[in-house]
Each structure stands twice: as C-alpha cells, then as structure tokens.
Amino acid sequence: MINSYKIIDVSSWDRREHCLAFKNSAQPKYTVGFKVDVTAFYNRVKSKKLSFTLAMTHAVCKAAMTVEELRYRFMGDDVVLYDSLDTAFTYIDKGGSLYKFVEVPYCDDVEEYISNAERIIGNQKVYFTGVPSLSVIQCSALPWIDFTYVTHTEGGNKRDSLPIVDWGKFSDVDGKLIMPVSIHAHHSFVDGIHVAKFINTLQECLDN
C-alpha cells in the first residue's frame, strides 16, 4: 500500500517545539482508555451479517483520518503527513489461537472493505508479512476482556509513531452495549485535545 504524503518543513511548523519536546523522551507514546456506545453499530452490523471486528476496524480508520495529528509520522529524519490511512490489524482464524498481522487498504464502503479484508485474510498463510506500512493505523480486538487500560510492547524505537487502537468486550449497561477502547499515540504529534476529537468522531461513526 502506497499512500501519498508531504514532508513537513519543521523549521516553520507550528508544532515544532512540542515535537522536539517529546520525540526523545524515554517513553514518547502514551495511552488513553475510554468507553463507546456500540448499541446502534452492533445492531446495524449484525443485521447485515457483517464481521463486527472488521466493521470496527473500518470505523476506527474512518475516524482517525479526520484527525490530522493521527496522520503524522517520522520517516527517517523527516516528519511527514499522510493524505490518507489504511488499516493493519491482528486476526485469529476460526479455531486457532495465534494471531496473524494483516494489512488491508481502506475504502469508504464498509461492505466492500470487509469483503476485501476477508479475501486478504483467507489468502495470508503466514503470521507476519514484514514491518507495517507507515501509513496505517494499527488495530487489535480483545473481545474476551472488558479492560480499563492497555499497554504495548516497545521495541526501543522512539520514532515509532504508528497509532494503535484496541477494543475489548462490550457489556450491557442500562440497555446499552458499552465497549472499552484505548488509543496509543506518539506525543510528538498527538495531544489530549486530538485524542478527544478522535473519540468524539469515532462515536459519531458508530452512531451513524
């Protein structure tokens, strides 16, 4: 997957000081956990007999693309801004217990996206196909756990700026299906205000 990007002139970038303040931190990525209401989304997905996991991955990518800060990446010594994002996610085949890491191009139509994803999943016989593309948002479903917080392994690369979104087991709360979600993002690019925008946009996507 090749998405277009532009190289940022950091010398005149309004976020220059914030980026420099965090990029060499011992732990430059941070996590925020939150809850979403998936009642309408779940009913709509199931009425069409679609995969909840793949539909959720599509919704996450759709919401993330509206937040510019989630499209920034370190590329070598440069900072780049991607025009669009694709998806990368963990997936366990039916009857299995080991996940494979799958990358699927994003498209606006959720049913087309899921059909393409199911084809790619079925054709991929290996667990890992290489280093993830820079222009993806990573997703991971944990449908067995109603978590409150998720951490991630770190390889020591402080320039690893791919956002990661996890979601868990939803529960019935006063007649609504409430699901935990977390986002893991690089502080050089993403502040709390941007996470809040992502959360609000994701909920809008799930509602509509």
The string of pLDDT tens digits covering residues 51-110 is: 999 999 999 999 999 999 999 999 999 999 999 999 999 999 989 999 999 999 999 999
Listed in sequence order, the residues at least 6 apart from 162 whose beta carbon sits closer than 8 Å to its beta carbon are: 73, 132, 134, 136, 137, 138
Instruction: Give the residue numbers spanning the domain of 81.
Output: 5-207
- Inter-residue contact 188 to 161 (CB < 8 Å): yes
- The CATH number assigned to the domain holding 72 equals 3.30.559.10
Residue-wise pLDDT tens digits, 148-172: 889 998 888 888 999 999 999 999 9
Backbone angles phi, psi at 16, to 5 degrees: -55, -50
Per-residue model confidence as pLDDT tens digits over 120-138: 999 999 999 999 999 999 9
Residue 18 CB coordination number (10 Å): 15
Single pTM value for the model? 0.95
Number of compact structural domains in the chain: 1
